[in-house]
A and B are shown apart, each in its own frame.
Chain A
């Protein structure tokens, strides 16, 4: 068990290291560097020299990679090519705002997804399930920017209930983001609910038809007792991994949603940094997002190993 945990942890660290190499190498391989990208046409002579020495681009690539990576581990991502400000402070507020959005969406979405998933699994092919499953397909497949646009049209343009755009500045306290956060949060939650719900539903259906559930029924265990004691504990285990995958998706999906709603989060900062060709900022955000992805998945793996002893032996073989 301990060996397995350590192995998983090591794999996670290796993946993050590889990501950092990919991010760094990606910028190296592409034509130009952070300075030519940022200065564009003015990239010549003294201006270019100054920029390169500011960002330390005169040294070899391997040297710079190790400097960059070791500083990043300590939370220092260098300075932005544009504003020359420390990236760590620039990113800090944005990260907080994105996490606020994500946590709100999760707090609303996960319990609802579990509940609806169980309902549509237990009443499979009944009217309730058909309605839920159809809505799920819509929520899951329609692009986020389309859902966002429709929600803005209905709830802020036609009904006028909530603001359709976020005007709060990036470093405002959390409380000021309400009620502006409601619509972006709903879009995120909708997609999350759809993905989690689908897994819960099929997992419940599968467990209901398992030998031990049938056995319990044959033994005369009352239906609801069977559901709560035999079916749900087993059916909900695999959802841990799906929730992790969905959270990971959320970090990418949030980019589009933040842009639509003008939400001052990490995703919009990423788009801005790419449009401004501020490569050091892009690199830092990419590293943060992918590290969160790897960590969340790792955590889910470890949680399901702890919660489900059967996995341990399966993994060891």
Chain B
């Protein structure tokens, strides 16, 4: 673990990426304490005010402080994706390892179902659930965890296939270990690295999905500050108040780029080459 972290930090992409991720996480934790203004505070007089001493990034169309809202704008996204990502990796990973070990007819059927799910665009799957059950963390967390766990099944299954024919798995079978014990003690330690990298990638795709949904008006509901929603709101005033767009754009992009750089460096440090990169 320590050597992996050292390897990660010794690569420029890993150091920059990890810095950005940690920076955003810390900011999400402390931002309610350090935000200079109330994110709900409206003021018609100072609407669309340019950046100044009191309002560093200017004001939005309702006169709310863009700097404070940008500081707070990642909290909901990080909370939802921060819970959904481990859930997705756990259930997808378990199912993938299990079917990689068991194989057979059931495995064939499962893989067809996985293929079928992956052939539907993510936005359609998410929107159908949101329109039916409403939006908010209570719907988004299970929905994201479910849909983003499906590609994890594939990755875990492929990684399991690489080790399942090895002698130590055979030996554990011969010793009479149960499937569960083989999964936990023999297979999981060998698949863990692949799952870690996959989890980092899923996290970044989930953030992309979350902010896109917010941007389209299906995610966070106002007045909660969120980068996707802020960009959508500020777009209409872009020609004379571009700061309203630029602040959340930079915040969101730096977080997603940070995660991707970390995932890339992590994959190199752990010696895993990633193939699947499409945001499904």
Contacts and interface: CB of A to CB of B under 8 A. Distances in A.
Contacts of A246: 278
Interface in A241-289: 245-246, 248-249, 251-253, 255-256, 259, 270-271, 274-275, 277, 282, 285-286, 289
B64 to A, nearest CB: 19
B112 A141 contact: no
Contact of A145 (B212, B256, B260, B278): B212
A259 B239 CA distance: 19
Main secondary structure of the interface of A (DSSP, over half): helix
Interface in B194-216: 204, 208, 211-212, 215-216
Contacts of A15: 112, 115-116, 119
B127 interface: yes
Given A14-B112, A15-B119, A248-B119, A143 B208 contact: yes
Interface string B118-151: 0111111001100110000000000000000000
Interface stretch (B23-31, B49-57, B169-177, B245-253): B245-253
B120 A22 contact: yes
A125 B204 CA distance: 26
A277 B128 CA distance: 9
Nearest to A245: B278
B231 interface: yes
A142 B115 CA distance: 26
A258 B215 CA distance: 13
A152 B238 contact: yes
B261 interface: yes
B256 A289 contact: no
Contact of A26 (B128, B253, B273): B128
A267 to B, nearest CB: 8
- Most A C-beta atoms less than 10 A away, residue of B113, B116, B117, B259: B116
B82 interface: no
Contacts of A50: none
Interface string B242-280: 100100010011001101110010000000010001111
A157 B204 CA distance: 30
Interface string A155-198: 00100000000000000000000000000000000000001001
A172 B155 CA distance: 44
Interface string A192-232: 00010010001000000000000000000000000000000
A314 interface: no
A304 interface: no
Contacts of B185: none
B121 A149 contact: no
A251 B121 CA distance: 7
Given A14-B112, A144-B212, A198 B277 contact: yes
A18 B252 contact: no
Contact of A142 (B120, B238, B253): B253
A11 B113 CA distance: 11
Contacts of A248: 119, 278
Interface string B95-122: 0000000000000000011011101111
Contacts of B215: 143, 145, 256
A224 B280 CA distance: 38
A25 to B, nearest CB: 11
Nearest to A287: B120
Interface string A13-27: 011001100110010
A11 B109 CA distance: 11
Contacts of A149: 231, 235, 238, 245, 249
11 contacts: A141-B204, A143-B211, A149-B231, A149-B249, A152-B235, A195-B277, A246-B278, A256-B216, A270-B123, A282-B124, A290-B116
